[in-house]
């Protein structure tokens, strides 16, 4: 099953989803598509006109262009996801920093899809990490 | 996901005894035709997707909970990203954050393999005003 991860560039979440037998949907795959197939100078800093139009589906025209650009990458992935894992209470510099509004919008889009979602908290110590891994494992093994 | 090319990043947990050099030598010893580049945190492997996944599985067989991996959008040594080619390496802040977290995840995975289960922790409750008042009075 396709599992969307939030933060979408997280190594830990990507690894755990793969480890427990599912396909993670991440920013890296979306950017790789643009690196390989499009002649864009430096994705995701530069986007195509199509990306801007795609972003309009998820955020209005009055929303800052950065939010639309991010959602042009993440929006289609959320639409194709069968489940999602969201990590809450991350430190400031963990995940896609720079636009909290985009992150909130992603959480809203996931909720609106109505797919199974696991909300986990950022582990601060070993016991919390054990709980985090066990909880993720149970959730991913339950997705059949 | 692209089937033609996959660049995969392997990161070693900080508390592991494995070094990036050992990891790269091990991958070279597999004898597969993939590009392997040693980095400060582990290594990058690039090749056709099928081949890279095969290498990932073989690394996991040996270092199951010590080596973590994810895909990378840009190719190895891409001048837009690689520091050796004066690139900006904008993703490194995130890698550094996760590197610090990997020790905990490594131990968590070991414990889960040993049979640990998820135990929900009770949510923190709000402190009643009267209790808070008592604490303040004691401190005075």
DSSP characters for A102-115?
HHHHHHHHHHHHT-
Determine the pLDDT at residue B90.
Answer: 73
* Domains of chain B, each with CATH number or no CATH: 6-113 (3.30.70)
User: B139 pLDDT band (50/70/90 cuts)?
Assistant: low
Mean pLDDT of B72-76: 87
Task: Give chain B's mean pLDDT.
Answer: 89
The token duo for B85 is 């080619």
**Alpha-carbon span B100 to B78, nearest angstrom:** 26
**Above pLDDT 70, what percent of chain B?**
96
Which of B8, B46, B63, B112 to probe by mutation at the A interface, max A CB count within 10 Å? Answer: B112
Task: Flag the least confident range among A60-64, B28-32, B80-84.
Answer: B80-84
d(CA B10, CA B24): 10
Note the pLDDT of residue A19: 93
Q: Are A93 and B97 in contact (CB under 8 A)?
A: yes
Domains of chain A with CATH codes: 2-141 (3.40.50)
Q: How many CB atoms lie within 10 A of CB B139?
A: 6
Do A29 and B82 form a contact (C-beta atoms < 8 A)?
Answer: no
DSSP sequence for A20-54: TT-EEE-HHHHHHHHHHHS--SSTTTS--HHHHHH
Q: Taking CB atoms and an 8 Å cutoff, what residues of chain B touch A32? A: 1-2, 7, 71-74
Residue A42 contacts residue B81 (beta carbons within 8 Å): no
Whole-angstrom Cα distance, residue A111 to residue B7?
Answer: 32
- The contact set of B with A (CB < 8 A) is 1-2, 4-5, 7, 9, 11, 60, 68-75, 78, 80, 91, 93-95, 97-98, 101-102, 104-105, 107-109, 111-112, 116-121
CB A14 within 8 A of CB A26: yes
Reported ipTM: the value is 0.89
Is A26 an 8 Å CB contact of chain B? yes
Residue A6: phi and psi, rounded to 5, are -135, 115
**Nearest neighbour of B104 by CB, restricted to A14, A18, A129:** A129
Please answer yes or no on whether A95 and B94 come within 8 Å at the CB atom. Answer: yes
Q: Environment class of residue A33 by beta-carbon count within 10 Å: exposed (0-12), middle (13-18) or buried (19+)?
A: middle
In tens, the pLDDT along A31-45 reads 888 888 776 777 767
Report the mean per-residue pLDDT for chain A: 88
Window 29-58 of A, Cβ < 8 Å to B: 29-36, 42-43
């Amino acid at each position: 099953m396709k599992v969307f991860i939030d933060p979408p560039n997280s190594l830990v979440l990507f690894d755990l989803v793969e480890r427990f037998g599912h396909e993670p949907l991440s920013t890296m795959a979306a950017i790789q598509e643009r690196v390989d197939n499009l002649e864009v100078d430096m994705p995701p800093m530069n986007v195509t006109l199509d990306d801007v139009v795609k972003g309009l589906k998820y955020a209005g025209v009055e929303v800052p262009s950065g939010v639309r650009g991010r959602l042009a990458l993440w929006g289609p992935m959320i639409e194709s996801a069968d489940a999602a894992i969201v990590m809450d209470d991350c430190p400031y510099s963990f995940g896609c920093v720079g636009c909290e509004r985009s992150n909130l919008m992603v959480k809203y889009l996931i909720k609106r899809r109505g797919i199974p979602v696991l909300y986990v908290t950022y582990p601060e110590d070993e016991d919390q990490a054990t709980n985090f891994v066990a909880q993720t494992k149970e959730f991913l093994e339950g997705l059949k | 996901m692209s089937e033609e090319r996959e660049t995969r990043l392997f990161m070693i947990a900080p508390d592991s005894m494995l070094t990036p050099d050992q990891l790269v030598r091990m991958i070279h010893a597999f004898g597969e035709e993939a590009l392997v580049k040693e980095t400060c945190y582990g290594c990058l492997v690039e090749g056709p997707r099928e081949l890279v996944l095969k290498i990932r599985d073989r690394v996991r067989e040996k270092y199951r909970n010590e080596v973590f991996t994810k895909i990378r959008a840009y190719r190895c040594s891409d001048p837009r990203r690689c520091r050796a080619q004066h690139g900006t390496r904008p993703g490194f802040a995130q890698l550094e954050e996760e590197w610090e977290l990997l020790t905990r995840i490594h131990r968590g995975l070991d414990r889960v393999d040993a049979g640990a289960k998820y135990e929900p922790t009770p949510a923190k409750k709000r402190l009643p005003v009267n209790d808070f008042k008592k604490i303040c009075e004691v401190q005075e």
